[in-house]
Amino acid sequence: MSTFAELGLPEAVVNALAANGITTPFPIQAATLPDSLAGRDVLGRGRTGSGKTYAFLLPLVSRLAANPAPRRPKTFRALILAPTRELVTQIDASLAPLAQATGLRSATVFGGVSANPQIDKLRNGIDIVIACPGRLEDHVKSGHADLSGVQITVLDEADHMADLGFLPPVKRLLDRTPKDGQRLLFSATLDNGIDVLVDRYLHDPVVHSVDSEQSPVTAMSHHVLHVDGAARFDVLTDLAAAPGRTIVFARTKYGAKGLARKLNSRGVPAVELHGNLSQNARTRNLAAFSDGSATVLVATDIAARGIHVDDVSLVVHADPPVEHKAYLHRSGRTARAGNDGTVVTLMLDDQVSDVRGLTRKAGIKPTITKFSGTSHPVLQEIAPGERNFSGPIVLAGAEPAATRAPQQPGRQPGQRSGRRGNRSGANAGRSGHGSSGGNRSRRGGAGQHR
């Protein structure tokens, strides 16, 4: 496999990558870099976690650094559009060391926070804007942002932007960028109108399909636990208390909030992520999950789109998703960056037909276990290790979740204690692909979003 230097990246960028422990390109990076560095329009098809972020950041930074230009108020030379605020923030974090090494300046633009700091940065002149479509369009309409100088435009997770209804503002924004600019579009699928974007805005694009949304999901370990309603939460608690990071998916915002509170009441440190939270609360909760303060994240489908935290060892569908695409997206939160992963769906009697249908459409054949009661040997097989009930998480500026929910029967907080370590030492990280400092345990911080 080629090195980053052999693929044509400048020395400053290669050194910045190496300083963060990144020395070997992922397949999608090796495939797309020669064309994107040459200025070609690129359509990259690959699943979440396949390395798409650096696949567009590396050529973007390299091309801007090779052709420096004075900064002008309200204008910028590169635009990255992403579907969620969390993804914008994570892209910016990945960009930071590259921008510092090449003298470039960036700004993030999204809703839920004050617009004035964003306007100030735009007024002072920057090189790269990473934005959610809605807030950026507000700045354009108010005259605080001008897209006429954009040379490179990136659409990240375009299929998710379509799912969230962002295609109309995306089209309006792209219409304001120069027609001869370079466009890089990355998406796991080409449905939901993505093909319209490709036909309308990409010029003779080079297509690189590294893998499909299904390919890594079929390689995961998939389980369906057929439980009765009375045992559902006890089974969920047992899985959530196992070693490693766990993401639990609920169908509604109310359900996510309730499950997070109940898990905390059992002594499992959990945070919630859903649309009813303020931006500060979303940022705080995601940070707690990323740094290991909370070992469980309870999320809804929409809130979790674009969330990239490495070393998630277990995904639990507390509520089975409605359709197979949601199953694939949810499940893709684990088995990232070369690690393995396990996916568990909790199924009640009246959900049997729906779960069978969605797993069939998703192309996976899960191991199905039916049991009554709250315990079964399969729980240790799925998530081995000592269960940890160290107590509810207490976040700065937030009321402890356990004080707001009635105590649940069963295990009590602090009943058993133990460090949540690696489920498997082999999964702690992937050589050359982690964040600075090399491999981490699952208790450690979030990895580089690649």
Asked if 124 and 107 count as a contact pair (C-beta separation under 8 A), the reply is no
- Tokens 């009943």, residue located: 415
Contacts of 76 (CB under 8 A, 6+ apart): 107, 122, 125, 126, 127, 128, 129, 149, 150
Long-range contacts of 103-106 (CB under 8 A, 24+ apart): 103/65, 103/68, 104/61, 104/64, 104/65, 104/128, 105/71, 106/130
User: What does pLDDT average to over the chain?
Assistant: 81
> 354, 382, 410 — which closes off a domain?
382
Do 236 and 337 reside in the same domain of the chain?
yes
Tell me, what's the pLDDT at 334? 63
Longest dimension (CA), the chain: 68
Tell me, what's the pLDDT at 47? 61
Do 187 and 112 reside in the same domain of the chain?
yes
pLDDT confidence band for 401 (50 / 70 / 90)? very low
Tell me, what's the pLDDT at 151? 97
**Higher model confidence: residue 242 or residue 112?**
242
Q: State the helix-helix crossing angle for 279-291 and 85-102, rounded to 10 degrees.
A: 70
pTM for the full predicted model: 0.63
Do 15 and 90 reside in the same domain of the chain?
yes
DSSP 252: S
Residue 340 inside a domain? The answer is: yes
Tell me, what's the pLDDT at 430? 31
Tell me, what's the pLDDT at 338? 46
* Chain mean position to CA 410: 33
34, 55, 79, 418 from 154: Cα distances, Å: 16, 11, 6, 44
> 350, 382, 414 — which closes off a domain?
382
- Can you tell me the mean pLDDT for 58-84? 95
- CA-CA distance, 175 to 107, in Å (whole number)? 21
- CA-CA distance, 141 to 198, in Å (whole number)? 25
Tell me, what's the pLDDT at 157? 86
DSSP 406: P
Residue 441: is its pLDDT beyond 80?
Answer: no
Instruction: Choose from 91-100, 192-201, 410-419 the range with maximum mean pLDDT.
Output: 91-100
- Of the listed ranges 327-331, 334-338, 352-356, the one predicted with least confidence: 334-338
Q: Phi-psi bin for 129: left (phi > 0), alpha (psi -120 to 50), beta?
A: beta
Lateral strand order in the sheet of 106-109:
106-109, 128-131, 78-81, 152-155, 182-187, 42-45, 206-209
Q: Residue 228 is part of which domain span?
A: 220-382
Tell me, what's the pLDDT at 40? 95
- Can you tell me the mean pLDDT for 216-244? 85
- CA-CA distance, 184 to 79, in Å (whole number)? 10
> 332, 348, 382 — which closes off a domain?
382
Closest CA relative to residue 403, chosen from 417, 418, 393, 412: 393
Number of domains within the chain? 2
Do 175 and 249 reside in the same domain of the chain?
no
Amino acid symbol at 15 = N
Q: Are strands 221-226 and 342-347 parallel, antiparallel or unpaired?
A: parallel
Q: Where are the alpha helices (DSSP H) in 1-51?
A: 11-19, 27-37
pLDDT in tens, 104-127: 999 999 998 899 999 999 999 999
Residue 377: is its pLDDT beyond 60?
Answer: yes
- CA-CA distance, 31 to 312, in Å (whole number)? 27
Tell me, what's the pLDDT at 218? 46
Residue 92: is its pLDDT beyond 80?
Answer: yes
Residue 398 inside a domain? The answer is: no
Instruction: Choose from 51-55, 348-352, 408-412 the range with maximum mean pLDDT.
Output: 348-352
pLDDT in tens, 190-201: 665 788 888 899
Residue 292: is its pLDDT beyond 50?
Answer: yes
Tell me, what's the pLDDT at 239? 95
Residue 436: is its pLDDT beyond 50?
Answer: no
Residue 447: is its pLDDT beyond 50?
Answer: no
pLDDT confidence band for 425 (50 / 70 / 90)? very low
What is the full DSSP assignment across 263-292? HHHTT--EEEE-TTS-HHHHHHHHHHHHHT
- The CATH number of whichever domain residue 119 belongs to comes to 3.40.50.300
Do 190 and 244 reside in the same domain of the chain?
no
Tell me, what's the pLDDT at 413? 34
Tell me, what's the pLDDT at 276? 85
Residue 424 inside a domain? The answer is: no
Q: Alpha-carbon dihedral of residues 61, 67, 71, 77, nearest 10 degrees?
A: -50
Residue 300 inside a domain? The answer is: yes
pLDDT in tens, 16-51: 999 988 888 888 898 899 999 999 999 988 665 567
Residue 149: is its pLDDT beyond 80?
Answer: yes
Do 191 and 248 reside in the same domain of the chain?
no
Residue 193 inside a domain? The answer is: yes
Strand-pairing partners, residue 108, are 130
